[in-house]
């Protein structure tokens, strides 16, 4: 019987979403601009032999009409390849994942638009009172690493957590693991999740950190995402309903609010996530879905506007990908995609509205072009087809074209 492996290269957009201009992102191109930055640097062009064989450069060229620097002589793909545009409004992690799993968000998430004095007073007052806090710091739009460096010492001295957001539908709370307490931070984020109900905010993110003013503050791997549950059954629910197992690696379980998740394997850092994915596949039975989000592409390199670091991380991922390909068995389907863009050369530090790649490979699966898809939901519908599940509510199966 069949199994499926879904890897989300978080934020690896391939440019040119049809409606990018409406988001201020016309011209954003995560993969293309990373390739260009690497080719222009002393380190030289990107080296991605496995992702190239799977059709990533061709997916980018299909989306943008341009060949990325260093990929002018890319060989013909040995996999199924194409690109997808998101139908849901926004450029959020939950909406991108949910649509990829067959649920198109019809009602946009709420956002906090004011860049300063950002959050409604009633929300902060309730958070402070019910969280027994001396107050909060931040209350603005900010880059997480910048605001941690700027307010970390004041946070430690005052006991006030750092509360901030971005252009996405999110409320983030940063606090020191020892001085404030990791458990207390997680409880505070759960309280914030409850209090945010009137504003329809997609996620609350706990951002724990350690360190001091002298040596610097550093995020830890204990991040947690508290997402709204999907508004309808997803691919994950369909797998479970058919008595299959869904093994969620990394933050996948958080993104789906644990809905449709049979078992979760926590891991932090791309190597640990890759190891956990291999472990999950070794344990997965017939009808299983293994889903992994490789978050560092987004959080470590995209948001921090580090194109060369992003390129090096892609090369490292590419070097490990053959380990997964080597253990695929007959009946397995491997699908690679992304949830949005986060162009590290783009102004600001927010996600970018872009098309994303759709790359699929399985033993005996003939390579072909999948074209431009008008919804991320085509991915989930294709996996549902492969696993023999009933059709999902949205999407056109990329295996049935």
CATH architecture of 3-106+229-387: 3-Layer(aba) Sandwich (3.40)
* C-alpha–C-alpha distance, residues 148 and 29, integer Å: 28
* 306 φ/ψ angles, rounded to the nearest 5 degrees: -125, 85
Whole-model pTM? 0.93
Neighbours of 207 (CB within 10 A): 23
347-382 burial by CB neighbour count: b if 16+ within 10 A, else e? eebbbbbbbbbbbbbbeebeeeebebbebbbbbbbb
* C-alpha–C-alpha distance, residues 163 and 32, integer Å: 33
Token pair belonging to 149: 């460096």
* C-alpha–C-alpha distance, residues 265 and 193, integer Å: 23
What are the angstrom distances between the C-alpha of 183 and each of 82, 207, 245, 362?
Answer: 43, 12, 30, 42
* C-alpha–C-alpha distance, residues 261 and 248, integer Å: 6
What pLDDT, on a 0 to 100 scale, did the predictor assign at position 401?
80
* C-alpha–C-alpha distance, residues 192 and 45, integer Å: 44
Instruction: Return the half-sphere exposure (C-beta side, CA atoms, 13 A cut-off) of residue 232.
Output: 13
* C-alpha–C-alpha distance, residues 85 and 380, integer Å: 14
* C-alpha–C-alpha distance, residues 244 and 386, integer Å: 13
205 and 223 Cβ atoms separated by less than 8 Å: yes
What pLDDT, on a 0 to 100 scale, did the predictor assign at position 167?
86
Instruction: Give residue-wise pLDDT tens across range 116-163.
Output: 999 999 999 999 999 999 999 999 999 999 999 999 999 999 999 999
* C-alpha–C-alpha distance, residues 173 and 161, integer Å: 7
Instruction: Give residue-wise pLDDT tens across range 318-361.
Output: 999 999 999 999 999 999 999 999 999 999 989 999 999 999 99
Least Cα distance to 188 among 233, 243, 124 occurs for 124
Q: In a structure prediction context, what are the per-residue pLDDT tens digits for the chain, which is 401 residues long?
A: 799 999 999 999 999 999 999 999 999 999 999 999 999 999 999 999 999 999 999 999 999 999 999 999 999 999 999 999 999 998 999 999 999 999 999 889 999 999 999 999 999 999 999 999 999 999 999 999 999 999 999 999 999 999 999 988 999 999 999 999 999 999 999 999 999 999 999 999 999 999 999 999 999 999 999 999 999 999 999 999 999 999 999 999 999 999 999 999 999 999 999 999 999 999 999 999 999 999 999 999 999 999 999 999 999 999 999 999 999 999 999 999 999 999 999 999 899 999 999 999 999 899 999 999 999 999 999 999 999 999 999 999 999 98
58 and 78 Cβ atoms separated by less than 8 Å: no
* 79 φ/ψ angles, rounded to the nearest 5 degrees: -140, 180
Superfamily of domain 121-226: Phosphopentomutase (3.30.70.1250)
| Cα-based torsion angle of the residue sequence 323, 100, 380, 330 in order, rounded to the nearest 10 degrees | 0
Spans of all domains in the chain: 3-106+229-387, 121-226
Q: How far is CA 132 from the centre of its chain?
A: 33
What pLDDT, on a 0 to 100 scale, did the predictor assign at position 107?
87
């Amino acid at each position: 019987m069949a199994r499926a492996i879904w890897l989300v290269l978080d934020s690896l957009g391939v440019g040119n979403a049809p409606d990018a201009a409406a988001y201020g992102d016309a011209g954003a191109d995560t993969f293309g601009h990373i390739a260009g930055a690497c080719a222009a640097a002393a380190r030289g062009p990107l080296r991605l032999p496995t992702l190239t064989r799977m059709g990533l450069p061709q997916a980018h060229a299909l989306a943008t009409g341009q060949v990325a620097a260093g990929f002018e002589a890319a060989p013909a793909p040995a996999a199924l390849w194409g690109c997808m545009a998101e139908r849901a409004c926004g450029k959020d992690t939950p909406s991108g994942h949910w649509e990829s799993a067959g649920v198109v968000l019809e009602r946009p998430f709420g956002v906090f638009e004011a860049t300063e004095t950002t959050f409604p007073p009633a929300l902060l007052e309730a958070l402070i009172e019910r969280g027994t806090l001396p107050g909060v710091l931040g209350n603005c739009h900010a880059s997480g690493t910048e605001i941690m460096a700027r307010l970390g010492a004041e946070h430690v001295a005052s006991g006030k957590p750092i509360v901030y957001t971005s252009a996405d539908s999110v409320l983030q709370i940063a606090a020191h693991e020892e001085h404030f307490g990791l458990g207390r931070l997680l409880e505070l984020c759960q309280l914030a999740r409850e209090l945010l109900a009137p504003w329809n905010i997609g996620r609350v993110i706990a951002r724990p950190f350690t360190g001091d003013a002298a040596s610097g503050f550093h995020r830890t791997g204990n991040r947690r995402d508290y997402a709204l549950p999907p508004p309808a059954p997803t691919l994950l629910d369909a797998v479970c309903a058919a008595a299959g197992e869904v093994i969620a690696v990394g933050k996948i379980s958080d993104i789906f609010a644990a809905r449709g998740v049979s078992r979760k394997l926590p891991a932090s850092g791309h190597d640990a996530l890759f190891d956990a994915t291999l472990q999950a596949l070794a344990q997965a039975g017939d009808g299983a879905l293994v889903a992994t989000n490789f978050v560092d592409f987004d959080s470590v390199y995209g948001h921090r506007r580090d194109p060369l670091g992003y390129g090096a991380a892609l090369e490292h991922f590419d070097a490990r990908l053959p380990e997964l390909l080597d253990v695929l068995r007959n009946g397995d389907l491997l699908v690679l995609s992304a949830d949005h863009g986060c162009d590290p050369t783009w102004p600001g530090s927010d996600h970018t509205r872009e098309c994303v790649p759709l790359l699929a490979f399985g033993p005996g699966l003939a390579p072909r072009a999948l074209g431009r898809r008008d919804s991320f939901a085509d991915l989930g519908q294709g996996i549902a087809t492969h696993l023999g599940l009933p059709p999902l509510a949205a999407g056109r199966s990329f295996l049935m074209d």
